[in-house]
Structure 1
Amino acid sequence: MPKALGKRHVEGIGEGSLSGTLARLLQLTGDAVVAFDGAGRVLLANDEAASLFFSALEGLVGSDVRGLFQLEADVADVPFCAQDLPFPVDGSGALVLCRTAGGHLSAVRVRCDAVHAPGETYLLVARLAGDAEAAEHETERTVAELRRANKRLAGAMNIVLDTLDYEDVGSLFGRALEEICETMEADGVLAYIADVGGFHLRGATEGVDASRAPRFMEYGRGLETLAARSGMAQRIRVLPPAGEALRQGRLSNREVVNEETHEVLKISARRLPPFTSFIVVPVWFDGRAIAMIEVGWERMHPLREDDAKLLDAVAHYLSVQLVGALSAMRAERAQSFDALGTDLREELMGASGEKDVEQRVRDVLADAADALEAALVPLGVNEHQSVVVADLPLCGHRAIPVTETLGEDVAAHEEGARVTDVGPESPLAQTLRDLGEPCVGALVDMGYLAGERRAFLVLRPDGEEPLDEVEHGFLLRLAQDVCDIYRGEAERAQDKRISQALQRGMRNELQKVEGLTAQGLYSSATAAAFVGGDFYDLIRLPDRRACVIMGDVSGKGVEAASVSAAVKTALGAYAWEGLTPARMVRSLNDFLLGFSRLETFATLFVGIIDLGAATITYCSAGHPPALLVRAGAQEISMLDVQSGVVGAFADISYQDGVVSVGEGDVLMLYTDGTTEARDPGGAFFGEQGLRDMLMRESAPDKPFEGFLDRLLATLDAFTGQRLDDDVAMVAVRFDELGGLPPKISYK
């Protein structure tokens, strides 16, 4: 017998084989037999007594014996006295009126005598007085028994037929439990599955108040242990609390009678189902109990041995069905936690910025605790004082000694995530239990992240089921994701510092060139992108010439920014050497192929503006074609001589294009983030949208000042201020042309 269950034999009934002999004798006799104590409380009754008295009383055992007989006054509040009964208690016979199962008064012959045993106990034997009435009663009882047996048999067949080949535990339990409940005419049925540490509640019929049922029963600490050890169904009856227990207030323990052995057991009230009478049925497979089914009645109910045997037979059938369904359930449960982990990981990865990361981590951890039906308890570790400060749900901040609860190695844990079980018998659980806090679950320790120790507890209330392997794995993966997001944020912060340094050394500035008015604009798709791969430049050259550059290096962040800076520097040098645009790009291609360790390439537009000759000589290397808006917005020309990208292939060829310009014309350069911008519905802004925007904003009544700002405002309105890519734009207006300088010889 488990140490959590105290036991004793029913007082006044006897011990050892005598109790079993008496119990069997009560079932064999054709008379109604009732045993009651000195307080008038019915202790035992056989089936005949239940048949004679039960239905009118809504519960025989545990009731007041005086309620069985027609008395002159209401004695509910009158102290019991055996001498006040309407029959003698000295063993002599008497004829009295009784409320029988039919609800009417009948004459009953009774004999009652005191039992010589510890305590005050009486044994009463009763039968209907008239032979005809007795025969009628016997016939009704026999018919009722046949009907009940037929209903039990039909119900068992329905359970078999309705649960064939079920692979889903929920569907299997949903069908089987309701069938069992209806067949046994019970008030409810509970189903528990064996798992880590004990039996876990996994099913209940609609009529059961599941909130009153224990969700978890530890191995060796509850009544399920009796059924597991005996190997068969056990009939259990909860005894009414004694007056002294009621006066003490809350009942922490209750007494129950095991009707198989007639032992009185003391058990924790929180481990009892919400029933007064119930049958605990073990489900066996391969020599172990894989589940427990509890069939119960809210009020006192006769628990018949043949009902227990029928439930054993049903459980034997369900065991085969249940094993397959359990495997499917565990796989489905693991998949559900994998899916949740993926969703939470995506939420974490969407964070940007230190404050956003902190908030998203808190939100994700709270969502995870909710999914586990547990409380999230953040921890703060103070290694200098060797304490952990826990933000508890009920008590608030409390200091918990490190060495007593979390282990001495916590202070030494530097990096990586780990999940440690907090079992019901651990020192930490005991500390929390004494505070009345949730105390069963896991400690999740992620070491030092962003300069702080990150740890938290996921806890369920005392007596609830511990976290299983699937839940432990889910928490560990989530903790590792949190570590990754913090490390990623640290890397982004470092990249930010590098990018800011690069930005200071590589500003997108347009030099002043006499005869030209130029504007440049760069807009990042993300607030965190200080420097990307888009760049532009306008370089003043001798003899009324200038070099205009627009480029887009693949990738983001420091790598793209560093390549962009190198490209701008190289192109500036090539321009001063007097190279043609195609020669400049060809030299740059050779340079890039040996520059980056990554597969980085770039698209480029390089143009040499000759104000004296009123021409632009250009090379467009995989870049969106530049547009030339003629003065007065009368026409838009495309600079359509195209070559391949830069930095991808060694043997690629590049060629120059030449276009004439006039005063008032505007050269428009842009990166593909402009034309590939999308509206909320997914439609592209496109080249036509760009053309229409240029014509509208280049109208004679529109000033050139603020030209690019108006273009960007149009893009923001189109996308809802949600750019998918960085946008860079340069607009160059030709103000003064002519006055040919000496002819320049390009290399």
Structure 2
Amino acid sequence: METLERNEWADVAQLVEITSDAVIICELDGTILHVNNRLHGLMCEDRADVIGGDVKDVLYSSAFERATEHRLPFETDGSESELMLKLSDGSFIPVLVRAGSVMPPRIFGRRAPRVLVALHSIEEQYSHDRQLKRALSELRVANKRLSGTLSVIMSTVGSDELPSLLDTVLNQLVGTLDASGAAIYFSESGGFKLRGVSKELYDSYLPEFLPYGAGIPTYVLRESRACRLSIQQDLEGDRVASGMFMDLDNRSKHLLRMQDMPPYRSEICLPVFYGTQILGVLEVGWKRPQAPLAYDVNVLEVICDYLSIQLVGMVSSLRSRRTAELGRSLNVLRDELFTFLDDSAAATQAVSSEICNMLNCHFCPVEYDASLDSYVIDFEGGSRVALPDDPEKLFFSTTAPAARLGAGPDGFEASVLGGTSADDLKHVRITRVDESMPMGGWLRAHGLPCQGLYVDTGIEAGRPRPEGDDKHSNDAIVPASVAKGPTTRALLLRDGSQEPIDDLEYDYLVHLAHDFELIYEGESQKREERHIAQTLQIGMRNSLGDVPGIATDSVYLSATNSALVGGDFYTLIRLPDD
């Protein structure tokens, strides 16, 4: 660096070191006077091997041709050109070059112009442009996530209707995260119930109910964190046979049943907690395979924290409304039972219709078929399936599942509607049916809904109770008069994809059974009293009394047609002294 040692271009040399471009200072004939560290890094060559060389041996045309006739390979008017920079190993890289002629300070009477050449790697420029575009794209996405989060929070402030709240949140989440759909499951007795979906999933299959121990929500609840999942489907032809999901954070794999498969290829699933209480599980999914982004998880966690505060009050309100709804239905059913007191077919139709409407279940009478010498299930008035054994053995000789919904610490069902529990029933018996029981498996194998309740009203005339039944030991034979009520046995069944009968619904049926007993036992007592009264009345009128020498007869007519006993006693007797 002779020129720098003479302080000819000290200021320029310092300036070219702080630029991001590679810089060459050369004579008009191409002799290189100075290069900065950036060029030295590009060429990977010692500075001493470059200084004093010819710039025409460093920069070539895009056709790898050297400039001839002492011409520089670039213009010196500041215009940009694309050249090839020769590296120390003989290879080339494309560079963009700009050059200009500058006049150095006068030293020792000489004032010859110099050429300042700035160049940068096209590959590095492309890489820089890509990084810049990626940063801008991420910034736009982050801004969209932020605005979407604020929009979700602001649009739900003051909301007092759970369906509208969930609809708003789920649809805005889909737009914010560019997802294919979103759904939310609430934690219910026995599992997770689907409570809301975004509009993109209206025509898609989603499991309506996922029991504890099955499906993605159970896994997420056990992990107690947001999970980024990749979902794989095993196909048999055009049909989904089974599948699995992989947790992208810990690389673990888990099997999925066909009925538990979500309509996504990748998703973020996270629990919604209020303190330590689990309220539900939120799912946001994409139908294309992708790795969900980490900041998408952060967005959902913020929304879930806010949503949990909104939901905890609404869930209690929802339960209260459901309780009131079931209470109103009980009043309707009482009226129906009184209305059709003497018409068992009409009573069965009215009661079953109301129960199916309230519980979203199938009402299947269990009847004895003399031609088959077997009890059969009448499924929706068409299919009749013979039971493999007597209902007593099938439904009352096995132990109910350990996780009985609504069971109190004493082992009896807790009353939610108040006033009555299952232990108060005298004749009617109710037992659960689900897939964990042999009968539930038998129903599923025969293509029938496989979970719900079996109800035995206990009014079959002359039917003895099974031996050893302590609860009904005082009622060995049900009176024949009680048998005038509706269907004596029935199954209330739901599909396997639906939730089991919860504590509110169970209590609703217990109350209905108790009302049924009171109404029909009262009617039985009235019939018995009428029979006794008529017998007494006939006995009183049978013999007027026989007195020799007197011919007598009598006519009895009650003051009102509805009177059973008039209260009049009359006879004819002979007194002393004739």
Per-residue displacement from partner, 1:495-527 (whole Å, max 9, x unpaired)? 6656877999999xxxxxxxxxxxxxxxxxxxx
Matches within 5 A, 1:278-289: 278-289=267-278
Partner secondary structure for residue 207 of structure 1: helix
- Quick one: structure 1 residues 308 and 386, their matched pair in 2 at CA, closer, same or farther if it must change by over 3 Å? farther
- Letter of the aligned partner of 1:196 in structure 2? S
Is the CA contact (8 Å cut-off) linking 2:374 and 2:386 kept in structure 1?
no
Alpha-carbon distance between aligned partners in 1 of 2:357 and 2:383, rounded to the nearest angstrom: 20
2:141 aligned to which of 148, 162, 170: 148
1:227 aligned to which of 220, 238, 244: 220
Question: Would you say 1:398 and 2:386 are equivalent positions?
Answer: yes
Alpha-carbon distance between aligned partners in 1 of 2:455 and 2:558, rounded to the nearest angstrom: 38
Q: How far off its partner does 1:283 sit?
A: 0.6
Alpha-carbon distance between aligned partners in 2 of 1:498 and 1:264, rounded to the nearest angstrom: 75
Question: Would you say 1:267 and 2:256 are equivalent positions?
Answer: yes
2:344 aligned to which of 357, 373, 396: 357
Alpha-carbon distance between aligned partners in 2 of 1:352 and 1:239, rounded to the nearest angstrom: 57
Aligned to 2:92: none
Aligned to 2:431: 420
Is the CA contact (8 Å cut-off) linking 1:502 and 1:561 kept in structure 2?
no
- Quick one: structure 1 residues 179 and 506, their matched pair in 2 at CA, closer, same or farther if it must change by over 3 Å? farther
Matches within 5 A, 1:342-741: 342-353=331-342, 356-380=343-367, 388-393=375-380, 395-402=383-390, 405-408=394-397, 415-449=426-460, 451=480, 454-494=488-528, 534=560, 557=562, 560-562=563-565, 565-566=566-567
- Letter of the aligned partner of 1:213 in structure 2? L
1:173 aligned to which of 144, 166, 169: 166
* Higher strand content, 1 or 2: 1
Per-residue displacement from partner, 1:362-404 (whole Å, max 9, x unpaired)? 3212320232111112123799x99753224585231232465
Alpha-carbon distance between aligned partners in 2 of 1:532 and 1:478, rounded to the nearest angstrom: 39
Name the count of aligned residue pairs: 386
Q: How far off its partner does 1:494 sit?
A: 4.3
2:236 aligned to which of 246, 251, 258: 246
- Letter of the aligned partner of 1:197 in structure 2? G
- Quick one: structure 1 residues 235 and 532, their matched pair in 2 at CA, closer, same or farther if it must change by over 3 Å? farther
Per-residue displacement from partner, 1:195-228 (whole Å, max 9, x unpaired)? 1111111112222136611111111211112322
Aligned to 2:187: 194
Partner secondary structure for residue 313 of structure 1: helix
Is the CA contact (8 Å cut-off) linking 2:341 and 2:347 kept in structure 1?
no
Alpha-carbon distance between aligned partners in 2 of 1:391 and 1:347, rounded to the nearest angstrom: 23
Q: How far off its partner does 1:230 sit?
A: 2.2
- Quick one: structure 1 residues 433 and 409, their matched pair in 2 at CA, closer, same or farther if it must change by over 3 Å? closer
Q: How far off its partner does 1:166 sit?
A: 4.2
Partner secondary structure for residue 260 of structure 1: coil
- Quick one: structure 1 residues 162 and 502, their matched pair in 2 at CA, closer, same or farther if it must change by over 3 Å? farther
Matches within 5 A, 1:321-360: 321-353=310-342, 356-360=343-347
- Letter of the aligned partner of 1:400 in structure 2? P
Is the CA contact (8 Å cut-off) linking 2:204 and 2:263 kept in structure 1?
no
Is the CA contact (8 Å cut-off) linking 1:345 and 1:481 kept in structure 2?
yes
Alpha-carbon distance between aligned partners in 1 of 2:533 and 2:349, rounded to the nearest angstrom: 29
- Quick one: structure 1 residues 172 and 130, their matched pair in 2 at CA, closer, same or farther if it must change by over 3 Å? same
- Quick one: structure 1 residues 390 and 246, their matched pair in 2 at CA, closer, same or farther if it must change by over 3 Å? closer
- Quick one: structure 1 residues 566 and 329, their matched pair in 2 at CA, closer, same or farther if it must change by over 3 Å? same
- Letter of the aligned partner of 2:170 in structure 1? L
- Quick one: structure 1 residues 404 and 462, their matched pair in 2 at CA, closer, same or farther if it must change by over 3 Å? farther
Per-residue displacement from partner, 1:690-747 (whole Å, max 9, x unpaired)? xxxxxxxxxxxxxxxxxxxxxxxxxxxxxxxxxxxxxxxxxxxxxxxxxxxxxxxxxx
Alpha-carbon distance between aligned partners in 1 of 2:251 and 2:214, rounded to the nearest angstrom: 20
Alpha-carbon distance between aligned partners in 1 of 2:379 and 2:445, rounded to the nearest angstrom: 13
Is the CA contact (8 Å cut-off) linking 2:336 and 2:350 kept in structure 1?
no
Is the CA contact (8 Å cut-off) linking 2:333 and 2:351 kept in structure 1?
yes
Alpha-carbon distance between aligned partners in 1 of 2:388 and 2:437, rounded to the nearest angstrom: 14
Is the CA contact (8 Å cut-off) linking 2:329 and 2:354 kept in structure 1?
no
Q: How far off its partner does 1:348 sit?
A: 1.5
Alpha-carbon distance between aligned partners in 1 of 2:496 and 2:373, rounded to the nearest angstrom: 26
Matches within 5 A, 1:295-310: 295-310=284-299
Q: How far off its partner does 1:434 sit?
A: 1.6
Is the CA contact (8 Å cut-off) linking 2:396 and 2:431 kept in structure 1?
no
Partner secondary structure for residue 144 of structure 2: helix
TM-score scaled by structure 1?
0.47
Q: How far off its partner does 1:561 sit?
A: 4.2
Alpha-carbon distance between aligned partners in 2 of 1:134 and 1:195, rounded to the nearest angstrom: 53
Partner secondary structure for residue 448 of structure 1: coil
Alpha-carbon distance between aligned partners in 1 of 2:288 and 2:540, rounded to the nearest angstrom: 84
Alpha-carbon distance between aligned partners in 2 of 1:182 and 1:532, rounded to the nearest angstrom: 81
Alpha-carbon distance between aligned partners in 2 of 1:566 and 1:240, rounded to the nearest angstrom: 83
1:213 aligned to which of 200, 206, 214: 206
Partner secondary structure for residue 200 of structure 2: coil
TM-score scaled by structure 2?
0.59
1:161 aligned to which of 141, 154, 175: 154
Is the CA contact (8 Å cut-off) linking 2:229 and 2:246 kept in structure 1?
yes
- Quick one: structure 1 residues 404 and 253, their matched pair in 2 at CA, closer, same or farther if it must change by over 3 Å? farther
Is the CA contact (8 Å cut-off) linking 1:392 and 1:398 kept in structure 2?
no
Partner secondary structure for residue 263 of structure 2: coil
Partner secondary structure for residue 243 of structure 2: strand
Aligned to 1:68: none
Alpha-carbon distance between aligned partners in 2 of 1:431 and 1:130, rounded to the nearest angstrom: 69
- Quick one: structure 1 residues 132 and 502, their matched pair in 2 at CA, closer, same or farther if it must change by over 3 Å? farther
Q: How far off its partner does 1:180 sit?
A: 2.0
